[in-house]
Amino acid sequence: MMSQVKLSKTEQKVYDLICQGEVMCRQLTPRESGAVPGLVQKGLVEVYKKNVSPYRVKKIKFLRKT
């Protein structure tokens, strides 16, 4: 599927980072986070929320490859 989709340099960098494992959205720089919506629209990346601690109610957004 990667051969059919054109990615910009920033999108490719973020996609390669996400392919290594799940990434917290907080770990991305502002430029990298700007590439995330394009990757989601192309169906390459999925955004989901999960608890990181049993003592916190707030969930944190993560990215993973679909």
Q: Could you give the angle at which helices 9-19 and 30-41 cross, rounded to 10 degrees?
A: 80
Average pLDDT over residues 11-35: 95
Average per-residue pLDDT for the chain: 92
CA 7 to chain centre: 14
Please write the tens of the pLDDT for every residue from 28-51.
Answer: 999 999 999 999 999 999 999 999
Is 4 exposed, middle or buried, given 0-12, 13-18 or 19+ CB atoms closer than 10 A? exposed
Question: For residue 1, is pLDDT > 60?
Answer: no
Q: Where are the domains of the chain?
A: 8-65
Rounded Cα–Cα distance for residues 38 and 45 (Å): 9
CA 16 to chain centre: 10
